[in-house]
Amino acid sequence: MEEISSMTKQNVDNANQADNLIKEANQAIGEVNNVMSELTLSMENISKASAEKDI
């Protein structure tokens, strides 16, 4: 019975660690998405400015 209790506790600890890692990954992905949006907007602005100078 003690072994089952120990294994259950270890499983809970592992599940909590996995949950924390997933939350960290999701936060990082959100930050990357924001940076990519800013980059895309900057590239669009550069493209528009370049096109205006060509006229």
Alpha-carbon gap, residue 34 to 9, rounded angstroms? 38
- Mean per-residue pLDDT pooled into runs of 10, the chain (55 residues): 93 98 98 98 95 77
Q: What is the pLDDT of residue 51?
A: 87
Q: What is the pTM of this model?
A: 0.71
Q: What is the pLDDT of residue 11?
A: 98
Alpha-carbon gap, residue 3 to 16, rounded angstroms? 20
Alpha-carbon gap, residue 13 to 55, rounded angstroms? 64
Two tokens at 3?
Answer: 């072994």
- 1 secondary structure, DSSP code: -
In single-letter form, the type of residue at position 43 comes to M
Q: Token pair 């949006």 is at which residue?
A: 37
Two tokens at 27?
Answer: 């936060």
